[in-house]
A and B are shown apart, each in its own frame.
Chain A
Amino acid sequence: MKILYSWLMDFIDADLSAQEVAEKFIRIGFAVEDIQKTGASFKGVVTGEILEIEKHPNADRLSLCQVNVGDDNFKVVCGAQNIEVGQKITFAPVGAELGGEKLKKAKIRGVESSGMICSVKELGVEGPCNGGILVLPKGTPVGIDAKTLFEKEDFILDFEILPNQSYGLSHMALARELCSFYNLPFKPLKTNEFKAAEGKAVSIEIENAEDCSRYSAIVLKNVQAVETPDWIKSRLKAMDTNPKNNLLIDVSNYVMFEMGQPTHCFDLDKLSGGIKIRFSKKGEILKTLDDQDLKLSENFLVIADSEKPLALAGIIGGSETAVSSGTKNILIESACFKPSLIKKTSRLTNIKTESSYRFERGADIEITLESARRIAQIIMNACPKASIENIGDAYPVKYQSKVIEVDSGKINSILGTDLSDTDIFNSLKAVQPNIKDDKPWKFQVPSFRRDMESVCDVAEETGRFVGYDIIPSKSEMRMMKASATSSSLLVADLQNKFSNLGFSEVYNYDFISLKEIKNCLLKEDDCVEIKNPLSLEYQFLRTSLITGLIKTLKYNLNRQMESISIFEVGNIYTKEEKGHKEETRFAGLMHGITGERFWKNSGENADFYHLKGVLSHVFKDFDNLKFVKAKNVPSFMHSGNSLEILLRGKSIGFMGQLNPKTSKSNGFKNNSIWYFEFSLSSLISLHKKDFHLNIKQMRSVSEFPIMWRDLSIILDKNREWADIEKAVSKIPNLVKVELTDVYKGKNIGENLKSMTIRFTFSSMEKTLTDEEVSSYMSEILGKFKKAFDAKLRD
């Protein structure tokens, strides 16, 4: 919200700069986000005429100008290209003040310049730039103070108004805040106590006092749609409001910015019968000021006459009864409506106006009549023939202050302060000057502070009054044992492990598009849809982390990254028959060379076994975690080339290769994309919580030497390693089985493969003899021959 400094100062009898005002506001909780200077702030600049232009002897782009400012002539260097002899310009002689700095004598490329021909930028004013100096109209007199050509220096303060700050929505209200909290003299507006002529009374009928608690109206006769005075126009412009140049229209806005009360002027001659504030009826239509045909539903509060709705209460007026250039008699409306009702109607009709903005925050019920008077006063000053016909004020239930009982102990305990009774009482008095010093204090909430409901609100006022800086920074908080949820610790541990293995953590949005759903072979029916997405790109919530990781893969491949190992922790959302399910997933992807290139050996491409290795490493400490051939993997995975991850027999996720279809539909040429995803929620629920249960027990090792033997066998190429490991599981003293080579090729024979396996033996009791080891080896070979029809390779 914009506030004009000079307008604000109409209400404050003190000498404060705009900067000081802003600082004072910030301290009492009004966020001034920006101070913009307007008008002319320069000093000593005069108007002049260019008499002569010659080239600068030492610079092509500079000129030497002879400038006349009346009594004196000056020779100056000028860099602008738009100069011409005879132009009227603004001239800053040495000593003039521009942008807060005094202009000094300067030598430019060897030629002395005794001043400067100014551009709008140098003057700090608004105006045409023309790529050079400011050219004034031909008739501008020479030698006058250039300040007179521009608006006076002023400042526009930009406030970020919080939803509860209904008490600061106008110049007057903000001035009142500043004066109360800093004990500055407040200059109230003087509105005339008009006497109405004995004219016909306006009938005002309020259907429900809760929705419209007050309706004040002034009937003004013999008005004219006069041009809006300049001072009002320039103030409205500062409020980012375009003046309509009809005072009867502009005055409403002016008073709203001034006093905070939204008002509306009807053309009285277009009304039939009295005013009725009622709910709209189904089928009624209101042509609004912005020429929309608004279909009213049954629960919109409207201002109506005996025939039709005239305005959407508190939000927007109707065009049929609006004032126009021919208007002669008006009815000034100044009312107070229920905030939530205005808010709701504004939401449902999607109409937001300065008026609805104020009413939905709560207007001051006590100033309706005064605001209407202020409007009448401004119009009557401009239209001498205008006269007040009637003043109506329907105020069914008079404002009753809520009373909050306050004692200093409570205030101090909320703030953590040790303030004296006097300090606290003074703070209460700043908000409610009528408070009496009888304990316990009875704080009557002023009509403009309906946001205040309890003693906590009063404590905040005390805080604003004394300043939050007074609150000490000290604590006697009791000891409490902090427990990170086991999930957050476990997640952090996994994140660290993956990052230590070369994986980079990425963050993707939870939102996905229908296209992504299709490309990743997900089911649209499983996806929770967003009613109001930012765009179709973000229409659904993800049901797997695959979409984001594929997006990330694409992004980085497009940037020529050749090694991609990434992971993400994120939530997924699945629609279910009844409701939905949300869980946290951990997923990752490998593609391209593993790690960076090294000069000793070129990098290896990531494959299934790399990913399996990563997961085995990460899950090293999880007992009961197994990889088994996949029975159930999502369709975006290659079902044959995937494993399921089981923890205590329960499936928590999967790993393997992407379905070639997924790769293809996402535009990847190479299907060497290795992906895993598991449910953190499942992992956590199956994980043992107690620290001591998660610790591995140490085993002793043999003190005797180890013995090892290599064995090369040839067997059917479809035989699986798991079976081989299983076959030797009962051989005594066998401590390690390592696959050291797998070979398929011509000299082996089709459908066969050769495997070289190293067997390591060790006994806890003695040094094994050669014979013992040889007997173990022949037992092994025997098992292989029998079970797999394996042959020894020579």
Chain B
Amino acid sequence: MNSTEWKEKLSSIKDGFSNSAIKSNAGNIDALETEYLGRKGLLMLLLRDLKDFSLEEKKILGPLGNTLKAEITSKLAELKNKFGAGSASSLKNDFDLTLPAFPYSKGSLHPITQTINKMTEVFLKLGFSVAEGPFLENEYYNFEALNIPEDHSSRDMHDTFYSAIKDSKNKDWLLRTHTSPVQIRTMEKQEPPLRIISPGRVFRRDAIDASHSFVFYQIEGFYVDKNVSMADLKWTLETFIKELFGENVKLRFRPSYFPFVEPGAEVDMSCVFCNDKKGKCPVCKGTGWIEVLGAGTIHPKVLKSCGYDSDKWSGFAFGAGVERFAMLLFGIKDMRVLYENDLRILKQL
């Protein structure tokens, strides 16, 4: 055999294998391996013939043969993978593989917990620490220290549950109407710089319907340092929202009013649920925007009431309703579901 004949043979082996490989199935894949790569396989025999060639010829033909061997080996491995592990394929199934799996207990975390956990995770990455405050809160922390004096119309924003008990200064204990008192409690205890979030339960005397509950959750965030600006706030909130709703979401800041910030802003995010339902989207009602947060620069009066020098320190604060996010994230249409505790619903999560 001269080198040309050898090459022809090699190429006919190659074609033969390719044809067989196409037709191969789980049943004959092992046979195919033996036919080509077995001890007396076609390719192995041909490779063995190389010993009769000169060193120069071996240098050319050898690599050609080895390349084909590698090709066939990898193709066979691929086929075996495709048909299931080679020899095991010959074992017959002897029980019903489609019977139900063992039902390891499935519990669930409440959607609000899951939402708060995700939010907390994002803010922890941005260097925010978690702080907490009582739910049965003092009038001072809930209102006065936050620049919401008695007999100011800003109190109208908070329909408050009052408890029948008072403190020694005759101030009411009430159910906190927002998480903002945690700002005061934290600032009273710690010196700046501070970067805090505080998720938690709040209460407002609202009638219950699909989008209102008298018990709900907020997440508060604030940062006090030197030279904190609205630009820092924007970056923080943008980073936060993008972690939850994707890189393409946009934020819109609108001037707004909260007594404990100035300037204040209402923050909308672009609707990521519209898709092709333009104008008819039930989530944003066709406006393209979803109201998600309130924010602003901490009011100097608030800093002062915590004993901070408002000329030296500045800060931003924001607050969001957790239910709003939970409803967007989990597709919850009616807030009442969150306190009904129907296990058929909760177990879905």
B124 lies within 8 A of A477 (CB): no
Picked from B107, B163, B167, B203, the residue with its CB within 8 Å of the CB of A500 is B107
Enumerate chain B residues within 8 angstroms of A484, measured Cβ to Cβ: 120, 124, 129-130
Check: A190 CB closer than 8 A to any chain B CB.
Answer: no
Check: B290 CB closer than 8 A to any chain A CB.
Answer: no
Check: A510 CB closer than 8 A to any chain B CB.
Answer: yes
B231 lies within 8 A of A473 (CB): yes
Picked from B151, B230, B251, B255, the residue with its CB within 8 Å of the CB of A414 is B230
Q: Which of A43-51, A241-249, A596-604 contacts B (4 or more CB under 8 A)?
A: A596-604
Enumerate chain A residues within 8 angstroms of B152, measured Cβ to Cβ: 163, 339-340, 343
Enumerate chain A residues within 8 angstroms of B106, measured Cβ to Cβ: 502, 596
Check: A480 CB closer than 8 A to any chain B CB.
Answer: yes
Check: A471 CB closer than 8 A to any chain B CB.
Answer: yes
Q: Which of B4-12, B73-81, B85-93, B334-342 contacts A (4 or more CB under 8 A)?
A: B334-342
A-B contact count (CB 8 A): 265
Enumerate chain A residues within 8 angstroms of B109, measured Cβ to Cβ: 495-496, 499, 505
Check: A361 CB closer than 8 A to any chain B CB.
Answer: yes
Residue of B nearest to A532 (CB): B162
Count chain B residues whose beta carbon lies closer than 8 angstroms to a beta carbon of A. Answer: 91
Enumerate chain A residues within 8 angstroms of B321, measured Cβ to Cβ: none
A477 lies within 8 A of B127 (CB): yes
Q: Which of A138-146, A396-404, A459-467, A759-767 contacts B (4 or more CB under 8 A)?
A: A459-467
Are A460 and B232 also in contact (CB < 8 A) when A482-B124, A484-B130 are? no
Check: A432 CB closer than 8 A to any chain B CB.
Answer: no
* B183 shortest CB reach to chain A, Å: 16
Enumerate chain A residues within 8 angstroms of B256, measured Cβ to Cβ: 29, 31, 162
Picked from B108, B130, B153, B225, the residue with its CB within 8 Å of the CB of A361 is B153
* A722 shortest CB reach to chain B, Å: 28
Top 7 nearest A-B pairs (CB, nearest first) are A502-B105, A416-B231, A29-B255, A416-B229, A460-B263, A499-B107, A468-B253
Give me 30 A-to-B residue pairs in the complex whose CB atoms sit less than 8 angstroms apart, sorted by A's number.
Answer: A347-B151, A361-B153, A413-B314, A415-B231, A416-B233, A457-B262, A472-B234, A473-B251, A476-B232, A477-B236, A478-B193, A482-B123, A482-B125, A484-B130, A487-B132, A505-B107, A507-B112, A510-B135, A530-B175, A531-B163, A552-B341, A555-B340, A556-B343, A559-B342, A559-B344, A565-B107, A573-B136, A579-B167, A594-B105, A600-B102
B254 lies within 8 A of A510 (CB): no
A485 lies within 8 A of B132 (CB): yes
A472 lies within 8 A of B339 (CB): no
* A300 shortest CB reach to chain B, Å: 13
B341 lies within 8 A of A507 (CB): yes
Enumerate chain B residues within 8 angstroms of A599, measured Cβ to Cβ: 99-100
Enumerate chain B residues within 8 angstroms of A564, measured Cβ to Cβ: 343
Picked from A463, A534, A538, the residue with its CB within 8 Å of the CB of B230 is A463
Are A505 and B215 also in contact (CB < 8 A) when A487-B132, A530-B162, A531-B162 are? no
Residue of A nearest to B237 (CB): A473
Residue of A nearest to B196 (CB): A482
Enumerate chain B residues within 8 angstroms of A459, measured Cβ to Cβ: 262-263, 297
* B270 shortest CB reach to chain A, Å: 13
A482 lies within 8 A of B128 (CB): yes
Check: B264 CB closer than 8 A to any chain A CB.
Answer: yes
Picked from A27, A361, A460, the residue with its CB within 8 Å of the CB of B264 is A460
* A289 shortest CB reach to chain B, Å: 23
Enumerate chain A residues within 8 angstroms of B195, measured Cβ to Cβ: 477, 480, 482
B201 lies within 8 A of A571 (CB): yes
Residue of A nearest to B267 (CB): A468
Count chain A residues whose beta carbon lies closer than 8 angstroms to a beta carbon of B. Answer: 96
Enumerate chain B residues within 8 angstroms of A792, measured Cβ to Cβ: none
* B71 shortest CB reach to chain A, Å: 48
B229 lies within 8 A of A413 (CB): yes
CA distance in complex: A164, B149 (Å):
13
Check: A201 CB closer than 8 A to any chain B CB.
Answer: no
Enumerate chain B residues within 8 angstroms of A510, measured Cβ to Cβ: 135, 175, 201, 203, 215
A555 lies within 8 A of B165 (CB): no
Additional A-B contact list (6), CB under 8 Å, known A471-B253, A504-B108, A505-B110: A343-B153, A488-B120, A500-B107, A552-B341, A556-B341, A571-B201
CA distance in complex: A531, B165 (Å):
9
* B212 shortest CB reach to chain A, Å: 12
Check: A582 CB closer than 8 A to any chain B CB.
Answer: yes
Report B245-262 residues with CB < 8 Å from chain A CB.
Answer: 251-257, 259, 262
A456 lies within 8 A of B263 (CB): yes
Picked from B113, B126, B257, the residue with its CB within 8 Å of the CB of A165 is B257
CA distance in complex: A468, B230 (Å):
9
* B127 shortest CB reach to chain A, Å: 4
Check: B173 CB closer than 8 A to any chain A CB.
Answer: yes
Enumerate chain B residues within 8 angstroms of A531, measured Cβ to Cβ: 161-164
CA distance in complex: A579, B164 (Å):
11
Interface residues of B, dominant DSSP: mixed
Report A86-123 residues with CB < 8 Å from chain B CB.
Answer: none
Contact with A along B277-307 (1 / 0, CB 8 A): 0000000000000000000010110000000
Enumerate chain B residues within 8 angstroms of A347, measured Cβ to Cβ: 151
Are A29 and B254 also in contact (CB < 8 A) when A477-B232, A482-B124, A509-B215 are? yes
Enumerate chain B residues within 8 angstroms of A541, measured Cβ to Cβ: 136, 163
* B49 shortest CB reach to chain A, Å: 56
Enumerate chain B residues within 8 angstroms of A538, measured Cβ to Cβ: 214
Check: B332 CB closer than 8 A to any chain A CB.
Answer: no
Check: B238 CB closer than 8 A to any chain A CB.
Answer: yes
B173 lies within 8 A of A580 (CB): yes
Check: B346 CB closer than 8 A to any chain A CB.
Answer: yes
CA distance in complex: A561, B343 (Å):
8
A509 lies within 8 A of B103 (CB): no
Check: B265 CB closer than 8 A to any chain A CB.
Answer: yes
* A396 shortest CB reach to chain B, Å: 23
Enumerate chain B residues within 8 angstroms of A460, measured Cβ to Cβ: 255, 262-264
Contact with B along A569-598 (1 / 0, CB 8 A): 001010100011010000000000011111
CA distance in complex: A502, B104 (Å):
8
B103 lies within 8 A of A598 (CB): yes
Are A456 and B262 also in contact (CB < 8 A) when A27-B254, A343-B152 are? yes
Contact with B along A483-504 (1 / 0, CB 8 A): 1110110001001101111111
B153 lies within 8 A of A339 (CB): yes
Picked from A473, A551, A582, the residue with its CB within 8 Å of the CB of B235 is A473
Check: A787 CB closer than 8 A to any chain B CB.
Answer: no
CA distance in complex: A667, B151 (Å):
47
Residue of A nearest to B255 (CB): A29
B153 lies within 8 A of A163 (CB): yes
Contact with A along B114-139 (1 / 0, CB 8 A): 00010010011111111110111000
Check: A742 CB closer than 8 A to any chain B CB.
Answer: no
CA distance in complex: A519, B257 (Å):
46
Residue of B nearest to A465 (CB): B255
B229 lies within 8 A of A566 (CB): no
Residue of A nearest to B100 (CB): A599
Enumerate chain B residues within 8 angstroms of A504, measured Cβ to Cβ: 107-108, 343, 346-347
* B126 shortest CB reach to chain A, Å: 8
B135 lies within 8 A of A575 (CB): no
CA distance in complex: A413, B225 (Å):
13
Check: B211 CB closer than 8 A to any chain A CB.
Answer: no
B105 lies within 8 A of A565 (CB): yes
Check: B266 CB closer than 8 A to any chain A CB.
Answer: yes
Residue of B nearest to A343 (CB): B151
